[in-house]
A and B are shown apart, each in its own frame.
Chain A
């Protein structure tokens, strides 16, 4: 795809941005002893065609109110730090241009479904705990490295990589967790990110503990509490499509999906027995 073709979707969707917008920022500090509850502070910011919400927030922080709590790092949708609710929908602030949004008032709130720390900053510990529960690392009991003669790399074809590659693009920004209707009420549900990472390892041909991984998610509050509302995939900024991963994982549990790794194992076994 050429650069011109890549530009076309945004240019078609962009309208001329307002020169000046009103930025409404959620302010609250739970750690303060005399906390008086939350409020919204409004700031006037003048914008250009390319101004992102993060640019606007940092402008406000630099020139108008330096006490705004905001988390950001790479400014290019790569680290996942600046997730927040912008006009009601979870988005990355660095990846959302003012011109993409409707209206002259932009409301910035902290991500829902995460414990709130201060202003636009939320706590990600539970999110990471759920991720760790999925054992997000390759399990392969054939990879014993004590016998140096047997030591070799895992072979993986490009087709094998494509089976899980898009799920490995997850930047753990938490937008999907914030959008999910099940996470909104179910404290034990791991969330779309964790479950799609479980699928990422099930689909990886280097991993051979599918049964164990399926046992982890086959739970009353596991993969079965997803109802394919698709909100996770509609907010994901990296095209990870967690909903796809979750439904494919469920396909494995329902025996709908071909268990290609099992087929490959059986084929190997029959080839070896012929030799």
Chain B
């Protein structure tokens, strides 16, 4: 059961001091815009979202473009004319890079979000560095970025290498 009615009433009554429902001075979407304020994990969250949306849009487009098969040879070739261009290949490179990043980072997130690889609770001491923001899982972000770059390089060699 989601937020109970009583809680909704309580929340509504305290949400604003000046009488109307203002969203608590929440940062809103602008809060998502600058991920570099808080370190690598925030950047990874931002990139995972961006790449996810981009890949979803690509996926829908891909399902549509491959459906031109049912139109026969002419429809298929017309589609190829549209997509097998330098711009088309560049777009495909972006897809390669984003899907590699999203997959590898996603695997890292599956582990860390389930509590693995983020250390154990203990007795924090000065300078109070967070144990979950350790290099072991942080390096997963860097590995994803590097693999994405490598995949893009390989993709470029296949698409633009002339074969």
**Contact between A228 and B123 (Cβ–Cβ < 8 Å)?**
no
Could you say which of B18-26, B75-83, B142-150 contacts chain A? B18-26
Q: What is the CA–CA distance of A48 and B10 in the complex, to the nearest angstrom?
A: 46
Q: Which residues of B contact A110 (CB under 8 A)?
A: 25
Q: Is the CB of A129 closer than 8 A to any CB of chain B?
A: yes
A113-B27, A251-B114 are known contacts. Are A234 and B39 too (CB-CB below 8 A)?
yes
Answer whether A221 and B122 are a contact pair too, CB < 8 Å, given A185-B29, A233-B133.
no
Q: Which of B56-64, B91-99, B124-132 sits within the interface?
A: B124-132
> Which size bracket describes the interface of A in this complex?
35 or more
Name, among B18, B31, B48, B133, the residue most crowded by chain A CB atoms within 10 Å (CB to CB): B31
Stretch at the interface among A39-47, A58-66, A242-250, A262-270: A242-250
Number of contacts between A and B (CB, 8 Å)? 184
The contact of B45 among A221, A227, A250, by CB within 8 Å, is A227
CB neighbours of A22 from chain B (8 A) = none
Q: Is A104's beta carbon under 8 Å from chain B?
A: no
Give the Cβ gap from A48 to chain B, nearest Cβ, in Å.
21
Question: Is the beta-carbon distance between B121 and A234 smaller than 8 angstroms?
Answer: no
- Hey, which chain B residues are within 8 Å of A227, CB to CB? 45, 48, 109, 113
Q: Which one of A67-75, A163-171, A205-213 is at the B interface?
A: A163-171
The minimal Cβ–Cβ distance linking A89 to chain B, given in whole angstroms, is 6
User: Which residues does B use to contact A, with CB under 8 Å?
Assistant: 1-3, 7, 10-11, 14-18, 22-29, 31-32, 35, 37-42, 44-46, 48, 109, 112-116, 118-119, 121-133
Which residues in A have some Cβ–Cβ distance to B below 8 Å?
1, 6, 9-10, 30-31, 88-89, 110, 112-117, 122-123, 125-126, 129, 133, 162-167, 169, 179, 181, 183-185, 187-188, 203, 219-221, 226-231, 233-241, 243-245, 247-248, 250-252, 254, 256-257
